[in-house]
Each structure stands twice: as C-alpha cells, then as structure tokens.
Amino acid sequence: MAVDPPAPERSWRTRIRAAAGTVRVRITAAAVLVVGVALLAGGVLFIALLRDSLTRQVEFAARVHASDVATAIHDGAPAALAVTRDDEELIQVLDADGRVIASSRNVAGRAPVARLRPGGAEHVQTPVDDDPFVAVAVAGTTPHGPVTVVVARALVDVVETVGLVTRLLTVGLPLLLALMALITWRAVGRALSPVEAIRAEVDGISAAQLHRRVPVPPGRDEIARLAGTMNRMLERLQRTHRGQRQFISDASHELRSPVATIRQHAELALAHPELTTSGSLAETVLAEDLRMQRLVDDLLLLAQTDEDSAGPRRRPVDLDDLVFAEGRRLRLSGDLVVDVTGVSAGRVSGDAGWLDRMVRNLGENAGRHATSRVSFSLARRATGVVLTVDDDGSGIPEEQRQRVFERFVRLDEARARGNGGLNGRARGNDSPDGGGSGLGLAIVAEVVAAHGGQVAVMTGPLGGARFVVTLPSADEAAPPDRLVLP
C-alpha cells in the first residue's frame, strides 16, 4: 500500500517541478546545454590540435637534428652523436642491414629503437625510461656505404603541456558555463519581468475590474506590443461587458413593461369584474403577448447574427417583391401616401426571411416618423443593388445618425410608450404601439452587414430621414453557401 509523502515534501516537489517548467529555467538550461556541448567539442578539438602541433614541432626538430648528424658523419665529425640530455634524445646509426653501427651513449649497445626507412617517423617507447618518444629517420652516407640516421626525441613536454591545458579547461569550462548560466538567468529574468507584471495584473482582473490595464514596458519590442494588444483586448472586453449588461438591463426593462400591463389588467379584472370583459382582457393580453414575442424574435435574430457559424443559407431573392409587399402593408395600416414608383427589379443573394425583416423594419421606421408620405426606390447600380427609403418626418440630427443603429438606442429617452405624436417618437423603435425596443434599426444594420452590404442614413429630399442600403447583387454575391457574418 502506497503512502503519500508528507505535505511539506509534496510542496517541495511541487515547487521544484513548477520552477523547472518556467521559461526562464528552460532558456537557461538550453543555453547551458548548447554552449556546454560547443565548449566541450571545442576543448576536445583544441587539445587534439595542440597535441598534434607540439608533436609535429618535436618531430621537425628531431628531423633537423638527424639531418645535421647525417651531414656530420659524412664529414667524419666524431662528436656528431653527442646528446645534450640523456632522457630527452637518443641517436642511432644503422647500416643497410638494420644493425646499429653507432649510437649516443644513452643507448649504447642497445637494439634499434625503431626500424624506419629514411623519411619515416614513428612514436616509440624507448628502453631508456619507458617514456614516449617520436623517432625519425634520415638517409646518410659514410665511407663504408649508405646508412640510416635515427633520432628520437622525448614527448614528455608535449604530454605535460597537453595535460596542463586539459586540467585548465576542466576547471575553466565549468566556471565559464556557470558564469554564462548566471548571466543568462539574469538577462532572461529582466526580459521576462514585464511579462510577469502583465501576468500578475491580468490574474487580478475580474469581471468587475475590466477598467484595469496591464503595464506597458518602454520600447517597441515584442513584450511592449503584447502589452498593447492585451490592453486593447481588455478594452474590447470592457466594452462588450458593458454592452451586455446594458443589453440585459434594456431587455429586462422591455419585457417588464408588457408583463406589468398584463398583470395590471388581470388584477383589475379580478378586483372589478364589472369594469372589464373577457374580450377586452384577452385583447390586451394578446397585444402585449405579440409585443413580447416581437421583442424575443428580435433578440433571437440579433443573437444569430452574433454567431459566425449560424449564418443563413444563401439563395437568390427578388428584393423588389419584398419592397412592394411592405409598401402595400404600409398603405393598409394607416393614412400614409406610399410611393413605390421608383422600385425596379433587383435580385440579391441571401436569406429571404432576414431580408424581409430588414425591409419591414425600414418601412415601419419610416411610417412611424413620417407626417404623410413614405417613398421607396430600388435600382441596380455599379456598387450593387441600392434600396432607398425616405419619409417626410423631422429627420435625424447628424450627430445621432450612427447611434440609431445601436441596440436599444432611443434618441428621445424621455418619450412615453404609445405616444403617437411625431415629437415623442424615436428612430429605431418598432413595436406596434408607436414606441419600441430600439432594436429595429440595429437589426437592419446586422442583416445588411451579414449580407456583405452597407447602410447609411442622411437627410432625404422629402425633408425627413433617408436610409440607403447597398447590397451585392445576386451575380456579384460571394460564392460560399453560407454567409460569413462580421
């Protein structure tokens, strides 16, 4: 049965594992590993080259001395076989059969230390003190015939020098690696300190503190750009969060009004049944229910446009048929003069239900604010299919023309619901009672954007507002089967 380690040990191990997984540790370890391998390979190569260079120098000196000995014995110089130090050099002269015919005193009477042809070289262990030597052979001549002069020089200095350098590298390279690791650790720590500050700040930001921003380090490096990007992201989140809270608040308010109306009429019917009839109560409940249903449908449609993957299917739609239908509806619903003489054929690619809702909202908005006249026009231009809706109402102030497309925006916040007067009504309201939720024109903007078009508002020739919607024609529409929503 396994026994869990005590809490302090688990905590210690957890801290070790957590520290080992940090970027700072990984970068430092990688730098030490790479530099360590490079230094090790360089050190081995350096020692090999040093040993080879020193050996070649000894071999060259031995060959020069052998040539001098060969010249001396040719001239008959008796001191040619003398050596300075018995433990560092030896000389032998061999005849054509490889027998020693003369030698230095430190190898007198000994067999040949190496059997080499003239020009050759060999590493040998001499019988003097069993140290490593390098022996070279040079051709020479005497009055008795050709000979081979063999000179061997000790490699003790080479071995000692290489050993000293090896020991220095063995001690120096780890110290160098430790210094490099320390420098890397400090440098990476300083480079990542802004990231840690950003992380700590983001970790402390909650939904109620989206106004906070991460510190932006000086300079224009990647970390500074990261901090700027995160601040822009936080700003978008704050704006979205604020919009969602406002959206929920406005939606709750809009739903509360019909619910309160239904409750008020129901309580009145219960308390004073003689003052109302079931028919009038049912009429009130039905009207408020339709109002709530319209608001819920609007919210669902806006939620669909917010989902990129929920785009409607595209198919050719005759936009002029939708405009004519809306014109007939407006004529039947009031005393307005509705002009559709400017409507010509126009086909777009999109969702017929969404496009019908867009035309319906534009028509309702124009009819609500018009004094007596509403005009529709539809034509195909170089920019696409252009739908224009005009009314002869009071128009929209220029500074408010972008706000009318925002959700739950009413330009006259003080007006009461159901006020039929022109001055008491606001753009973008679409409820049947003359007031509205402020979603009508927001839906127009979302539907137009979902279909790849544009919508604008300006002052029209009738003196009121003019809404201009430009949509790609069916021939120019994007080929994908589904809309790509913004």
**CATH number of the domain that residue 117 is part of:** 3.30.450
Residue 26 and residue 134 in one domain: yes
Burial track 72-100 (b if 16+ CB lie within 10 A, e otherwise): bbeeeeeebbebeeeebbbbbbbeeeeeb
Q: Rounded distance, CA 114 to CA 133, Å? A: 10
Burial track 281-315 (b if 16+ CB lie within 10 A, e otherwise): beebeeebeebbebbeebbebbebbeeeeebbebe
Residue 142 in domain: yes
Cβ atoms 219, 190 nearer than 8 A: no
Residue 254 and residue 160 in one domain: no
Residue 228 and residue 108 in one domain: no
Residue 214 in domain: no
The domain that holds 258 is classified in CATH as 1.10.287.130
Residue 165 and residue 103 in one domain: yes
Residue 102 in domain: yes
pLDDT of res. 486? 33
Residue 39 and residue 182 in one domain: yes
Cβ atoms 257, 287 nearer than 8 A: no
Residue 12: both structure tokens together: 């210690």
Q: What are the φ/ψ torsions at residue 384 (nearest 5 degrees)?
A: 135, -160
Give 130's strand partners. none
Residue 51: both structure tokens together: 């040993």
Among 308, 464, 264, 448, residue whose Cα is nearest residue 371: 464
261, exposed or middle or buried, with CB in 10 Å at 0-12, 13-18, 19+?
A: middle
Q: What are the φ/ψ torsions at residue 326 (nearest 5 degrees)?
A: -70, -35
Amino acid at 458: M
Domain boundary among 270, 300, 330: 300
Domain boundary among 300, 330, 361: 300
Residue 153 and residue 26 in one domain: yes
188-191 contacts, C-beta under 8 A, 24 or more apart: 188/23, 188/24, 188/27, 188/28, 189/24, 191/223
- The stretches of 272-351 forming alpha helices (DSSP H) are 278-305, 319-333
Residue 277 and residue 326 in one domain: no
Amino acid at 154: A
* Pairing mode, strands 145-154 and 89-94: antiparallel
Residue 110 in domain: yes
pLDDT of res. 417? 37
Per DSSP, the residues of 234-270 read HHHHHHHHHHHHHHHHHHHHHHHHHHHHHHHHHHHHH
Give the distance from CA 51 to its chain's centroid: 52
Residue 46 in domain: yes
Give 133's strand partners. 124, 154
Which parts of the chain have pLDDT scores under 70? 1-21, 76-80, 84, 86, 127-129, 243, 304-313, 409-437, 475-486
pLDDT of res. 362? 93
Residue 232 in domain: yes
pLDDT of res. 338? 92
pLDDT of res. 376? 95
Residue 389 and residue 461 in one domain: yes
For residue 269, give its domain range.
Answer: 222-300
Residue 294 and residue 334 in one domain: no
Residue 83 in domain: yes
Residue 153 and residue 77 in one domain: yes
The domain that holds 463 is classified in CATH as 3.30.565.10
Residue 176: both structure tokens together: 């160098």
Residue 455 and residue 356 in one domain: yes
Residue 350 and residue 423 in one domain: yes
Based on the structure, what is the number of domains in the chain? 3
Residue 410 in domain: yes
